[in-house]
Structure 1
């Protein structure tokens, strides 16, 4: 199985590498609690079309080792960059979902553009969704702490209760099968409580306001109108305005789980964005 070691502390991290080795490189970073599996509806068709699709399981997630420490944004971003170094990729498009958008942004601002040509931020919680100096309209930290207590008391019930809102499944066209929901919940529960609380802490502390203006590569921002986890106005719309070269694509009726409900549209938009880099468009 393909593993590499974190450049920070040697944690063994799992990744998948699909498609031709010579194809344009797309590197996927998943949402909280989920491993590389969440990207199946994007990675498979893109790999079959000739793109090299790489995705890692974040520390504590999926098949990666679950150390006690390292659940901070700098370490997680260094883990991503460690994969780029391990595979010696160039001109990569980094694609993050939810908190994964924070990891790919920090990877670029921390390590530069020697290996990264473009960023795609899908249903991102960037620049931050909890109240902070840079995100004054965010959620009250006290509300987050109370939600942490609910999460710790019964993670399984917490995940199950949030499914409808996650997919905006009450809206026409967003139906998701019970079988897929059960599969995704199982994947979420495979992430242990230490890693899960660690990544929740990263979300709670996230404030990328100061560094987004320094992102000097093209950025595709994809966001849904009905994303209750990361409301459009404070996240996707704001990011697209403050990065120097941002393009916003808004999906009608899209929730946080648009990688499933709007899978074909997302895959097509990612392909178009990657191809723009191949033709030299900036």
Structure 2
């Protein structure tokens, strides 16, 4: 079922709540530039294994409200905090893909892992999406600036080009159209604003604050968040386990969805 939760006086977040009677709860945070529908292939299977699966559309994306401002990692992490408290969720597994993984890490650090017992990071955009002098991985600021400019000048063309980088395995034309349309459900300005956060924020100081068991699933062919990011997260998060996804790019939630679901089920147990 779907409903809205108010996180600010003028901002409501859309929530998809599948199998509310499930014994264990998984809260999914999607990546840029999509929405909670990204996890369709997890929602197809995991509720049948007894899980309550909750997907949210972060502000500016999907069915959620689209304020003009408020797209920092801190602000979106605070939205997650409000959702967890409003729904009275406890002992949950927090799952984040791409920038959703980065936001999940910020949530764990900023809110001391409030009511989260396990963390799973899927192709997470952390600890830094941007290359730094001491971290020569990820993308240059100029490359991200080109995405921002493409978003503001010709968003459909930008989304099409980004989709071509997203998956390692072949995608059919209907599937590519589906993925493309997820991006169009966002606002253009929120799409650009989250890119600014991706470009400018880093999470090196957050990794050591994570105190729960953490599963890192990362495509070895990922062109969006290169595999060395996973190695850095594995090194920085104690009690973390890294599983290389040998047949995936950035879209491991679909490209190896059976393995992703199996690993999540085994991890949450």
Deviation at 1:176, TM superposition (A): 2.0
Deviation at 1:34, TM superposition (A): 1.1
How many angstroms apart in 2 are the aligned matches of 1:137 and 1:272? 30
Match among 243, 248, 252 for residue 249 of structure 1: 243
Please say if residues 74 and 106 of structure 1, whose CA atoms lie closer than 8 Å, have aligned partners that are also in contact: yes
Q: How many residues align?
A: 268
Say whether 1:221 aligns with 2:222. no
> What displacement does 1:114 show?
3.6
Q: Give the TM-score of the pair, scaled to structure 2.
A: 0.95
1:1-282 → structure 2 map (5 Å cutoff):
1-6=2-7, 8-132=8-132, 135-168=135-168, 174-233=169-228, 235-275=229-269
Per-residue displacement from partner, 1:219-250 (whole Å, max 9, x unpaired)? 100001100001101x1111011101110000
Which whole-Å CA distance do the structure 2 matches of 1:73 and 1:27 have between them?
17
Match of 1:191, SS state, is coil
5+ residue gaps, structure 1: 169-173, 276-282
Consecutive unaligned residues of structure 2, counting only runs of 5 or more, are none
**Matched-pair contact (CA < 8 Å) for 2:73–2:106:** yes
The whole-number CA distance in structure 2 between the counterparts of 1:133 and 1:211 is 19
Quick check: 1:229–1:256 contact (8 Å CA) kept in 2?
yes
TM-score by length of 1: 0.90
**In structure 1, C-alpha distance between the alignment counterparts of 2:137 and 2:170, rounded to whole Å:** 31
Moved over 3 A (4+): 132-138
Deviation sequence 1:120-165 (CA, Å, 0-9, x none): 0001111012134664544322332233223322111122123232
1:45 CA displacement: 0.8
CA RMSD of superposed structures (Å): 1.5
Compare 217-226 and 140-149 and name the one that shifted more: 140-149
